[in-house]
Chain A
Amino acid sequence: MPIEFEIPESVKNQSNLTEMVAEQVIRKVSRYFDEHEHERPWEYINFIWPFIQQMEAANLKRSLEVKKNGHGKASGNGQKKQSTFQVRMIHMIENLSWGDAGIYLCTPSSALAGAAIQAVGTPDQKERFLDRFTHGKPKWGAMAMTEPQAGSDTSNIQTTARLDPETNEWVLNGEKIFVTNGSLASRESEGILVIWATLDRSLGRAGMRPFVVEAGTPGMTVTKLEEKLGIRASDTAAIVFQDCRIPYDNILGSPELKKPGARTEKGFKGAMKTFDSSRPWVAASAMGIARAAFEFTRDTLAAQGITIPVDAAYHELSAIQRDLLDMETQLKAGWLLTVRSAALMDAGQPNSLEASMAKVKSGQVVTRITQKCVELLGPLGYSRELLVEKWMRDAKINDIYEGTGQINTLIVARRILGYTRKELK
């Protein structure tokens, strides 16, 4: 395929729908759920669920087929129809987040858990854990890596997984915090959680594996619901595991352990692939918030007679016009990096570097744009009458989760320099 920037037809149709949902279903309850922190936006959840089921079904079917036909390297001879899953995801997420990023995060879906299972799960595991997202009541997937003492430094997680040889079960013990949709996935629906635990602490990363825990499993308890700066509609839970037993087959990737630094740390690396898809999602969500703030500010100023010129001489622009042009360009820069990272993944090409680039840029862009919009709109921007101040609060999370801005910059830096973790700390 030569260079092209055309939005695929199927994505366009879907995009029209999600735009409509964002405008008519989400926006109008945006403020309400910001001010009623632990309530659930059921109207949205029920509305979007049938649509999500279709997407989940299509994605599950495709991934099972790809597995059957050899290893997903579909691009080569152009015979197989190329996936548009990631591109559809980012368009959807961008639109929904334009409506409200917190409510978007309440979307019932396999989400990060699904991404992890898709990245390293066996066909059997995909069936067993992901099929539930194609029928029945709304369900959520969650991914729990972070612990009180281990955020950016994921190698420091302390939650343990021990094999009980008598029952052939894994036994999980530890505490996870900041789990997005943790409560929804573990006790408010028949969802699933992907929990990162260590089989052998002395091995560091090489000893870590993701495990799937199904909702309602004894020994898993939600201990806290966080109260946050923004995305207040989103469920952020702390979960404690106390002798939580799960079947042997719930481990993702091989249980076999390699010495650290051995050539393959496959279990860990394989599952880190989750980030290749989840980072573009976060980037897309960031871009949705940024567009919301930009469009609102642009239109409000336009009503005051301050418009964006098509191509006026620079010295004729006012400071506000320059700010608007800058925002508009930043928006484009962040979005194109996001599109590229998603399209590469759909094409079956490596995208880790590009995903981190998109994440870094859009995290910065959304922070800068929303803060600027609050500034430009004066007291209106700061007022809770409008949503601009909320967008500024919502924005910030995008520079924090799925790897902070610094951590993703670090990843980009290592890749462009060809450095290992040791060489660039």
Chain B
Amino acid sequence: MYSFDLSEEQRLLVETVHRYATRSLRQAARQAEESSQAPADVLQSAWALGLLPATLPEEYGGFGEHSLLNGALYVEELAYGDAGLTLEILAPNLVAIPLLLAGSEAQKQHYLPLFAGEEMPKMAAAMLEPVILFDHRKLHTTARRQGDHYVLNGSKAMVIHAADAEWFLVYAHDEEAGSTQAFLVPADSAGLQVGDRNLWMGFNALQNHTLHLHDVQVGVAQRLGGEAGMDVTNVLNSSRIAVAAMGVGIARAAYEYARDYAKERVAFGEPIASRQSIAFMLAEMAIEIDATRLMVWEAAWKLDQGRDATHEAYLVARYAADMALKVADGAVQVLGGHGYIREHPVELWLRNARGLFTLVGAVMV
């Protein structure tokens, strides 16, 4: 049967996160961006929502199950509040979800309970590299097998929470397996060095750094995949859904802001929204947002059913990227010169929409 209604639980989830996103994230976003500092209390209250533990099974300290659809629902709401802070909030997921999906039983038993505590765990994922033409299948960071350990070499970019991480999940090209592999590396490993803070067009509050690995030794037991490499498909699909849902969230924020503004702003004696060239832009935005959300839901639903939806997840991540950028750009346009001024959030959303897919999206599309 086709149905587009949220279950009672999902409605509650969406309402809760929406409230948090509008009351906390949206309020904190501008100040965070301008001061390049995410407020600790806001992040702590996000952690207190328990979103990540709710996707982890009980045996690993959580109280729920992994559902991409639920993930898509709450991620859209978070990004509706602010995409930059959302990345900060979701940073632990970038380690926990790969562990859950690709880790060994022993690794899950050992590490996953760390994600169910009172404090946000100090864990950072390192996938992206400071290169153009990035491809997760052909990483420049290498892992060379030497007996019972690997030697890692290379540089990583946009490692969120690198500065105070205790563990890193480092993705590297396993030369022996000829594919991508991920390693849990302690922060105090010799040869591992946190580099400069990365500065971008947007996401200025995001604590993210370059990470350098110079002959870093890590035991075989710290490897997520098996001898033949790690199956990154599920991990990537999970990220694709999340990033596409973020795109929907950013777009919806921009669209609603522009819509409300257009009804208030008077030019030539009428609200600008009563002109077709503005009204039609807004209608197109609404249509595109709905279409993208439906694609996100469908792909997530299929994956939750255990079906193969890699291609769908890939397609929607791309589509959401274009859509979010177009909608955010349209929102700036609807506000005219005022949209260009940092008093309004739309210029920030335009920067964030671009950054989301340049940085995060590059990883999976």
Contact = CB atoms under 8 A, between A and B. Distances in A.
B69 A413 contact: no
B330 to A, nearest CB: 13
Interface string B126-151: 00000001111100000000000000
Given A1-B5, A3-B69, A314-B318, A340 B283 contact: no
A328 B291 contact: no
B7 A5 contact: no
Given A328-B315, A416-B259, A417-B282, A4 B3 contact: yes
A51 interface: no
Interface stretch (B56-64, B106-114, B208-216, B296-304): B296-304
Interface in A60-83: 82
Nearest to A4: B3
B295 A332 contact: yes
Question: Taking chain B's interface residues, is the majority helix, strand, or loop, or is none over half, making it mixed?
Answer: helix
Interface residues of A, number: 47
B4 A344 contact: yes
Contacts of A87: 2
Given A354-B290, A417-B259, A419-B274, 16 more contacts: A2-B3, A3-B10, A3-B69, A3-B297, A3-B301, A4-B2, A313-B137, A315-B135, A316-B135, A329-B315, A337-B291, A409-B284, A413-B276, A416-B283, A417-B262, A419-B273
Nearest to B361: A314
Nearest to A337: B291
Interface in B197-250: 236
Interface of B: 1-7, 10, 69, 133-137, 236, 259, 262-263, 273-274, 276, 279-280, 282-284, 286-288, 290-292, 294-295, 297-298, 301-302, 310-316, 318-319, 364-365
Given A6-B1, A413-B279, A337 B133 contact: no
Interface string A186-210: 0000000000000000000000000
A71 B1 CA distance: 23
Contacts of B284: 409
B282 A5 contact: no
A319 interface: no
Interface in A70-103: 82, 84, 87
Contact of A413 (B1, B5, B280, B298): B280
A361 interface: yes
B1 A8 contact: yes
A35 interface: no
A6 B301 CA distance: 10
- Please give me the 5 A-B residue pairs with the lowest Cβ-Cβ distance, nearest first: A1-B3, A413-B279, A333-B291, A336-B294, A413-B283
A131 to B, nearest CB: 30
A425 B275 CA distance: 8
A416 B289 CA distance: 13
Contacts of A256: none
Given A4-B301, A5-B298, A336-B298, A417 B273 contact: yes
Interface in A157-204: none
Given A2-B7, A416-B286, A417-B279, A329 B2 contact: no
B292 A333 contact: yes
30 contacts: A1-B1, A3-B69, A4-B3, A5-B2, A5-B297, A5-B302, A6-B1, A310-B311, A311-B236, A313-B137, A314-B318, A333-B294, A336-B294, A336-B298, A339-B2, A343-B4, A344-B4, A360-B287, A361-B287, A409-B283, A412-B287, A413-B282, A416-B259, A416-B282, A416-B286, A417-B279, A417-B282, A424-B273, A424-B276, A425-B274
B282 A361 contact: no
Interface string A240-258: 0000000000000000000
A410 B283 CA distance: 8
